[in-house]
């Protein structure tokens, strides 16, 4: 999964703190992914905003990026990993949906 995540980051320019919080449900249209949260390493938590001054944003998905996402899904399926919806999780994701529908 790491090579796929690194290629995704290289191709999109998404910071690592946002990359690790991407869920399949963030793909709201075939060509865009909604960036709306980030992982804060100091507090070890996912926060519902990004450091960008623009706040939430849409990132365009090139064909190469879409291929990366599909490869991640195939890898998770092939190896029986439960990603809790995270795109680049391997095995049991440390963070999962909470009772209020957010992830924590």
Q: What is the per-residue pLDDT across 28-43, written as a single tens digit (0 to 9) for each?
A: 999 999 888 777 777 7
Beta bridge partners of 43: none
pLDDT of 97 above 80: no
- Per-residue CA distances from 48 to 45, 55, 86 (Å): 10, 10, 15
Q: In what order do the strands lie in the sheet with 32-35?
A: 27-29, 32-35, 57-60
Cβ–Cβ < 8 Å for 62, 31 = no
pLDDT of 93 above 60: no
Mean pLDDT of the chain: 80
The predicted model scores a pTM of: 0.74
Confidence band for 53, pLDDT divided at 50, 70 and 90: low
């Amino acid at each position: 999964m790491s090579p796929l995540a690194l290629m995704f980051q290289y191709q999109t320019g998404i910071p690592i703190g946002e990359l690790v919080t991407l869920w399949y449900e963030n793909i709201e249209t075939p060509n865009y992914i909604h960036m709306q949260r980030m992982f804060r390493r100091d507090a070890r938590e996912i926060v519902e905003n990004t450091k960008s001054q623009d706040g939430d944003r849409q990132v365009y998905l090139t064909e190469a990026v879409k291929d990366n996402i599909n490869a991640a899904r195939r890898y998770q399926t092939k190896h029986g990993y439960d990603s809790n919806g995270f795109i680049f999780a391997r095995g049991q994701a440390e963070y999962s949906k909470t009772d209020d529908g957010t992830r924590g």
